[in-house]
Amino acid sequence: MTLSERDQQVIWHPYTQMQTAPAPVGIVRGEGTLLYDEEGNSYLDATSSWWVNIHGHAHPYIAKQLAAQATELQHCIFAGYTHPPAVNLAERLLPILPGHQQRVFYSDNGSTAVEVALKMCIQYWHNKGQKRNKILAFSNSYHGDTFGAMSVSSRSVFTRVFDDFLFDVHFIDTPTKDNITTLKAQVDALHPSDIAAFIFEPLVQGAGGMLMYEADVFDELLQHCHQHQIMLIADEIMTGFGRTGRNFAMENVSTPPDIICLSKGLTGGSIALGITTCTAEIYNAFLSESKLKTLFHGHSFTANPLACVIALASLDLFLQPSCKENRVRVETQHRQFATQLKTLKLIKNVRVQGTIIAFEIVTDTEDSYINNLADYLHKFFKEKRIMLRPLGNTLYIMAPYCITNEQLDRVYKSIEECVKAL
């Protein structure tokens, strides 16, 4: 039996209707932007394997650091004990983050990083003796699949079955020059002194459809919330580590976040790790002689040494000048391709932010994650051996930064061929 056939006997895949989904491709090896199946065919990873891989697959430097750490310390309880990889990563990461981040709390993935951030904010106000229990978030947002993360995500196909179990959140539109005054008035109408936190995906809403919005009006909204002492949670799980052009999306605004959530590119796509950072003000609110003011949250694999070492290795690569040069090069290529896309009749809303390019393909039904065009697109690009995972009729490219111009051209030509064939 092939790997794919064995898989179908025992595996339940994420975001997949198992009864109708085609057989999965069995991947056995990766190198750079390519992944290889069990028959030796290569697939060009144009979506960074769910937005996590920023340096390419099986990077030798990351593998070397991992192997060395595996012979030293693989895991250690992180309550009452510590280890060099966790301390080293926090020391190196905090100085390059936007704002005034002073403390690192480790968890396992993006959803758990969000859970930690929400609990930090809610308990911060509780520890301060203030009742602020409202949460503000954007429409079309997505922050993860655990219950807290679902609660602060816009109600959608991802949450539909669980909506009755989620806590109430106030959703507002992403800012534009036309609605910014209205948005600030909506915040005021909610009684800002009752709002504990505002959580957002800065500049790009990922699973919501790669929706993009402008930094200047966003900054105006953040400043308004900051003036009301509303805690600002920047979910940089997808946007962090260069995706929007700068190192972190919040570098595009002047208002500093109180909390930052990180995962995905944090380890270069090699292993799961989540980080929630916060300011000294938030951390200090949990310091007390009373154990009841403790943040009672943790994970068995908190600050796993192997994951921390991989994150350090990824950070080494990320901070090299060549990484930034590659990001600039990819963005330049995307903007040139965007000009070509705008000439195609079935393409609308072409947009570029850093290394991300996205657009919608016009269909006779509404734009949505469950638009049936996705099935055709999956099949088309799989046959081309290009990994593109559309969000319904929204197609996007978010490749590892090491992708070559020739490989990008291959993806572009396949997209044009796909659209012209519709």
Cα–Cα distance, 422 to 414 (Å, whole number): 13
Task: Determine which helix (DSSP H) or strand (DSSP E) holds 86, and give its type and residue range.
Answer: helix 84-93
Among 43, 142, 213, 396, the active-site one is 142
Cα–Cα distance, 187 to 227 (Å, whole number): 12
Q: Phi, psi at residue 280, to the nearest 5°?
A: -65, -35
Q: How many CB atoms lie within 10 A of CB 59?
A: 25
Q: Which of the 8 DSSP states describes residue 74?
A: S
Q: Confirm whether 235 is a catalytic residue.
A: yes
Map tokens 């003011």 to a residue: 293
Q: Find, among 329, 299, 313, 333, the residue nearest to 268 by Cα.
A: 313
Q: In one letter, which amino acid is 283?
A: Y
Q: Phi, psi at residue 84, to the nearest 5°?
A: -55, -45
Which alpha helices (DSSP H) does 258-363 contain, by range?
Answer: 280-284, 305-318, 321-341
Among 235, 384, 396, 412, the active-site one is 235
Q: Confirm whether 15 is a catalytic residue.
A: yes
Cα–Cα distance, 167 to 146 (Å, whole number): 12
Q: Which of the 8 DSSP states describes residue 246?
A: S
Q: How many CA atoms lie within 13 A of 73 on its CB side?
A: 16
Which alpha helices (DSSP H) does 22-76 contain, by range?
Answer: 48-51, 60-70
Bridge partners of residue 235, in order along the sequence: 261
Among 134, 184, 264, 384, the active-site one is 264
Q: How many CB atoms lie within 10 A of CB 405?
A: 11
Q: In one letter, which amino acid is 378?
A: H
Q: Confirm whether 142 is a catalytic residue.
A: yes
Which alpha helices (DSSP H) does 142-179 contain, by range?
Answer: 147-151
Q: Find, among 97, 73, 95, 71, the residue nearest to 85 by Cα.
A: 73
Can you say whether residue 360 is alpha, beta or left, with left for phi > 0 and alpha for psi between -120 and 50 degrees?
Answer: beta
- Compute the CA torsion angle 60, 65, 67, 68 (nearest 10 deg): 140
Q: Confirm whether 283 is a catalytic residue.
A: no
Among 15, 128, 375, 413, the active-site one is 15
The residues that are catalytic are 15, 142, 235, 264
